[in-house]
Amino acid sequence: MKTMYKTDPVIRRLDIQQFDQALPMLAELLHSCVHQGAGIGFVLPFSIQDGETFWRDRIRPSLATDRRVVLVAEIDGCIAGSVQLDCDLMPNQKHRADVSKLLVHPAYRRRGIARRLMVELERQAVKRELTLLVLDTRTGDLAEPLYATLGFEVAGTIPGFARDAFSGKFYATTYMFKTLDHDLLTDSGTPNGINRAASNTQS
């Protein structure tokens, strides 16, 4: 993949047919992020086939039944990033969703893609009338201050929560949450205080 692009990323929600077509690129995205040391649940060795199996077996079923939203950021026809809104929760938690697998391909970083994905994810959550978002992130990762700038608050930190993909050592994980106030939205449906240009969505 190229590392310099003039095209702005387009954020798109995938339906099941688009997901199936994008499966090879999603697998490559996940594979690249894992091999860059992302703390997203996987350890080495991790192959492209492992990535495809994850998307097909773990993500596709809930997407097909509208219990999950899969967003992608596209640049010049390539998937540069992705994030998921996991609504497949217990009956007493239907008011909330988990933010899952915020990924940006190493070749496309420092372009604001993660922020754009998160802005659109929140818009999708509001459309579903959800009132709470929850996520976890490796303590000290670059994503942690990003989430804070988007209004997420720290609920707590759990030491020794997960294993590092390379070293095998255990690291801490920070749980964060954001309460969604539907009254604090602009007329366009974008969270107030967030530039609409940061979204540039197709949904």
pLDDT of residue 185: 57
Residue 116 belongs to domain spanning: 10-187
The answer to whether residue 150 sits within a structural domain is yes
Q: What is the pLDDT of residue 203?
A: 55
In a domain, 199, yes or no: no
pLDDT at residue 181 in the model: 82
**Cα–chain-centroid distance for residue 91?**
23
- Residue 125 falls inside a structural domain: yes
Q: What is the pLDDT of residue 197?
A: 42
pLDDT value for 3: 46
108-130, pLDDT tens digit by residue?
999 999 999 999 999 999 999 99
Three-state DSSP state, 167: coil
Q: Is residue 22 part of a domain?
A: yes
Domain CATH code at residue 30 = 3.40.630.30
pLDDT on residue 189? 55
pTM attached to this predicted model: 0.89
Residue 98 lies in a domain: yes
Q: Tell me how many domains the chain contains.
A: 1
Q: How far is CA 20 from the centre of its chain?
A: 18
What 3-state DSSP class applies to 74? strand
Residues of the chain where predicted confidence (pLDDT) is lower than 50: 1-4, 193, 195-197, 199
pLDDT at 87: 98
Q: Are 162 and 39 in contact (CB under 8 A)?
A: yes
Rounded CA-CA distance 160/129 in Å is: 34
Q: What is the pLDDT of residues 69-99, one digit of tens each?
A: 999 999 999 999 999 999 999 999 999 999 9
- Residue 57 within a domain: yes
Within a domain: 196: no
In a domain, 192, yes or no: no
- For the chain, give the number of residues: 203
The residue among 35, 42, 105 whose CA lies nearest residue 72 is 105
